[in-house]
Chains A and B, each alone.
Chain A
Amino acid sequence: MKIFSTDHKTIAKQYLSLGLFWAIVGGLLTHLMRWQLAYPDTEVPGWGFIAPDFYNMVVTMHGTIMVFFVAMPILLAAFGNFLIPLMIGAQDMAFPRLNRLSFWVFALASAVLLASFFVPGGAASAGWTGYPPLSAKAEYTGVNWGLNLWLLALALEFVSFLMGGINFLTTTINLRAPGMTFFRLPLIVWMQITAAVLFMLSVGPLIAGAVMLLMDRVVGTTFYLPEGGGQPLLWQHLFWFFGHPEVYVILLPGLGIVLEIMPVFSRKPIFGYRPIIYSTIAAGMLSFIVWAHHQFLSGMDPRLAMPFSITTIVISVPFALIVFAMIATLWRASISFPTPMLFAIGTLSIFIIGGLTGIFNGSAPVDIYIHDTYFVVAHFHYTLFSATFFAGFAGLYYWFPKMFGHMMNEILGKIHFWLTFIFFNAVFIPMHFVGLGGMMRRIANPMQYDFLQPLQPINVFITVAAIFLLLSQIPFVINFLWSLFRGRVAERNPRQANTLEWTALSPPLHDNFERVPVVYRSPYEYSSPESPEDWLPQDQPPAVAQS
């Protein structure tokens, strides 16, 4: 395998490896954070004491890493790169060299972010949302180059994903195999290209915003500094105009993975293929007019709150339809429970909770109380952890044989699922109650507040569960590494799935298919009356044509 490869499969694996590396870093940071919250100002085993400014850095970098350096490279870049050409029947991406450049720019972004930990003053500590003026002047946080490098790393990452997004779109529009119409595309491809469009349309304002912030820091402009006539709220609008679509940029590919896996192990077509596509597009469009729900209390005109509250709550409708469609897929199905399916169902179950708690945050009056509390933290971990980790694991277990030519171990996989599912809920269900008790985000020591002291036993419980959640990932690491070399050799189509990637070898050849596949039908024809088998591959010629 070449390091500077243009093969979309190699690039996908490179994104995956870097994403998993960052997942370990981002995950271990939670250990520092949770220890400090449960046992404030005691020595963290294996680390030492955590000073308040160091705590802010840990919080900031955990968020930054998980959103931009784990969720995006794994869900979008790794799965999108690997699956789009294989699922639409193409040899590679439309622009293979742009694809390679996109990865190496991301690698550079990763190097810059990693370097930011080691500069004097430490890494960024103004929160992953980087609100100025806190982020706009070194004196406010004591972090100088750490925050500049943070901005640079993000800017590089956006450049990388812009190139990736262009590639995803061009490839899907131009390189589909004969017969692969848009309404025969697997849903994950729809989700990936919708995510690419959302990202490309929303990231521009943030790049402009980031450049202004960097200029405020480095050359002394005052875009965000009121003493020079600047406006701190400008950043919040630019950030969240990007930030909310960004949530769906992560969520949609995650849901796409679930939508691929469910029909295969239910032996039943996904319920409502077209309604799901329309819902996805509707949610994508709505996501551009909900951003100010992060700013109900920011000082913006209070008359703006209700319009944004209404759009925010209405966005529950398309997602409710997708969830209902997933549930309806299980109705009268024939369900088996290998590891990918367990994680897919886990994603669905957890995502429902995250969606429902979003209604509380979206309601402007309720947000007055729960804004900036742990209720919000619990809410977005239910949405983003489900998309990133549950769906990400589901996809990895499912496509691992296609990626690496070996099956993963089922027993270790099931242990991994149940431990992760139990400890995830043990961490984040109680977090809602801590939030309702009023505990603010990003405080390093709840014991400094009288009204939070009665909640401390819950914080200790969450921390213990979080440590177990981290330990629960050990079976996965063992399974992944062991299966890479020693896993049972995978056949072409071990799951009897319909989509095109399973017609290629495991792993596929450099140009993917031995011959260009021809597509005759939609991707989820399971248990169709047209076939005696309970599956009907997309490229199998109709029976009439055969005779």
Chain B
Amino acid sequence: MSSWFPENVSTFGGDIDSLFYLILYITGAWFLLTQGLILVFLIKYRRREGQRAAYIPGNSLKQAAWILIPGLIVVFLDLWIDLRGAEVWARIKGHVPPGDLQVQVTAKQFNWEIIYPGPDGRLGTVDDLQMDNELHVPAGKVVRVVLKSKDVIHSFFLPNLRLKQDAVPGREIVAWFEATKPGKYEIPCAELCGFGHSGMNGWLFVHTAEEYQKWVKERWPEK
């Protein structure tokens, strides 16, 4: 079943996936119960000559209990899903942990402009480096992504990291992730952004610590 999703390589992706499965089991049980009952009733109570339907209006509390009690169970299951959801949400979006490194991603029709702060770790200084559609990060480090947009709304989507966040012109939105496994992953745009929306795609390169140091040395050789 895990093959439904792309491979998860982020620290919080497992939380999202397990919440998904919790909801799947709960809704799956309701699915089987309701569809099963419908099927059984349709067969068992199909019209037969000379047989009269029962007269059950279901307005008295005693009769309505047949739907109110399952309704109450729905309330409890909803609260369970909400409580689990609140925990996961608080961890992922509720706060942004202090980042080990920071990059700025500026979306525009139809590219991700990725701006690295360089050795001084600060954006907006002379050692900044811009690369289009290539995001290089080390595994095991918290990466803060400052999202901006130059024109329309885009959505920064990292399927393998279970991260999605809209980039809105006029705003600076901070997202974060921590990749767990080195590799090359795609960064599609998930919000309709014009005729080039389909195909607006970047690459996330997750390096091991040594590879990442090597990449940094190549880019900022004077250091």
A285 within 8 A of B: no
* Given A52-B198, A309-B89, A321-B68; A360-B20 close (CB under 8 Å): yes
* Given A269-B57, A440-B188; A133-B70 close (CB under 8 Å): no
Chain B residue numbers with a CB within 8 Å of A52 are: 195-199
B128 vs chain A, min Cβ distance (A): 23
In the complex the two chains form, what is the Cα distance from A125 to B194 in whole Å? 8
Once the chains bind, are A268 and B67 in contact (CB under 8 Å)?
no
In the complex the two chains form, what is the Cα distance from A372 to B57 in whole Å? 43
In the complex the two chains form, what is the Cα distance from A430 to B154 in whole Å? 27
Once the chains bind, are A364 and B89 in contact (CB under 8 Å)?
yes
Contacting A369 at CB < 8 Å: which of B164, B197, B201?
Answer: B164
- Interface residues in B165-185 (C-beta closer than 8 Å to A): 165-166, 168-171, 173, 185
- Interface residues in B41-76 (C-beta closer than 8 Å to A): 41-42, 45-48, 51-59, 63-64, 66-68, 70-71, 74-75
In the complex the two chains form, what is the Cα distance from A433 to B4 in whole Å? 6
Once the chains bind, are A332 and B54 in contact (CB under 8 Å)?
yes
B109 vs chain A, min Cβ distance (A): 7
Once the chains bind, are B16 and A437 in contact (CB under 8 Å)?
no
Once the chains bind, are A269 and B93 in contact (CB under 8 Å)?
no
- Interface residues in A316-365 (C-beta closer than 8 Å to B): 316-317, 320-321, 323-325, 327-328, 330-337, 345, 348-349, 352-353, 356-357, 359-360, 363-365
- Interface residues in B135-191 (C-beta closer than 8 Å to A): 151-153, 155, 157, 159-160, 162-166, 168-171, 173, 185-186, 188-191
Contacting A438 at CB < 8 Å: which of B6, B27, B88, B201?
Answer: B6
- Count, chain B residues at interface, CB 8 A: 84
B211 within 8 A of A: no
* Given A327-B34, A436-B5; A449-B56 close (CB under 8 Å): no
1/0 contact trace for A432-446 toward B, CB 8 Å? 010011101111110
A276 vs chain B, min Cβ distance (A): 9
Once the chains bind, are B30 and A356 in contact (CB under 8 Å)?
yes
Chain B residue numbers with a CB within 8 Å of A233 are: 168
Once the chains bind, are A325 and B20 in contact (CB under 8 Å)?
no
- Interface residues in A40-64 (C-beta closer than 8 Å to B): 51-53, 55-56, 59
A459 within 8 A of B: no
Once the chains bind, are A313 and B47 in contact (CB under 8 Å)?
no
- Identify which of B77-85, B98-106, B116-124, B214-222 touches chain A: B77-85
Q: How large is the interface on A (under 10, 10 to 19, 20 to 34, 35 or more residues)?
A: 35 or more
Once the chains bind, are B58 and A271 in contact (CB under 8 Å)?
yes
Once the chains bind, are B89 and A333 in contact (CB under 8 Å)?
no
A205 within 8 A of B: no
Once the chains bind, are A449 and B188 in contact (CB under 8 Å)?
yes
Inter-chain contact count A-B, CB under 8 Å? 289
B35 within 8 A of A: yes
In the complex the two chains form, what is the Cα distance from A286 to B61 in whole Å? 24
Once the chains bind, are B59 and A134 in contact (CB under 8 Å)?
no
1/0 contact trace for A448-480 toward B, CB 8 Å? 111100000000000000000000000000000
A534 within 8 A of B: yes
Contacting A298 at CB < 8 Å: which of B70, B168, B195?
Answer: B168
Considering only CB atoms, which chain A residue lies closest to B39 in the complex?
A349
1/0 contact trace for A195-214 toward B, CB 8 Å? 00000000000000000000
Once the chains bind, are A141 and B195 in contact (CB under 8 Å)?
yes
Chain A residue numbers with a CB within 8 Å of B191 are: 131, 372
Contacting A327 at CB < 8 Å: which of B37, B152, B153, B186?
Answer: B37
Contacting A331 at CB < 8 Å: which of B15, B41, B57, B78?
Answer: B41
A140 within 8 A of B: yes
Contacting A371 at CB < 8 Å: which of B27, B53, B70, B164?
Answer: B164
Once the chains bind, are A333 and B153 in contact (CB under 8 Å)?
no
A111 within 8 A of B: no
- Interface residues in A482-512 (C-beta closer than 8 Å to B): none
Once the chains bind, are A317 and B71 in contact (CB under 8 Å)?
yes
Considering only CB atoms, which chain B residue lies closest to A305 in the complex?
B89
A526 within 8 A of B: yes
1/0 contact trace for A120-148 toward B, CB 8 Å? 00000111000111100000111000000
Chain A residue numbers with a CB within 8 Å of B185 are: 451
In the complex the two chains form, what is the Cα distance from A297 to B147 in whole Å? 12
6 example contacts (A-B, Cβ-Cβ < 8 A) are as follows A125-B195, A232-B153, A297-B166, A368-B92, A369-B20, A371-B164
| A-B residue pairs, 10 tightest by C-beta | A226-B170, A53-B195, A271-B58, A438-B159, A324-B67, A332-B54, A444-B198, A365-B88, A330-B41, A356-B27
Chain A interface residues (CB < 8 Å from chain B): 51-53, 55-56, 59, 125-127, 131-134, 140-142, 226-227, 230-233, 266-275, 297-299, 302-303, 305-306, 309-310, 313-314, 316-317, 320-321, 323-325, 327-328, 330-337, 345, 348-349, 352-353, 356-357, 359-360, 363-366, 368-369, 371-373, 433, 436-438, 440-445, 448-451, 522, 524, 526-529, 534
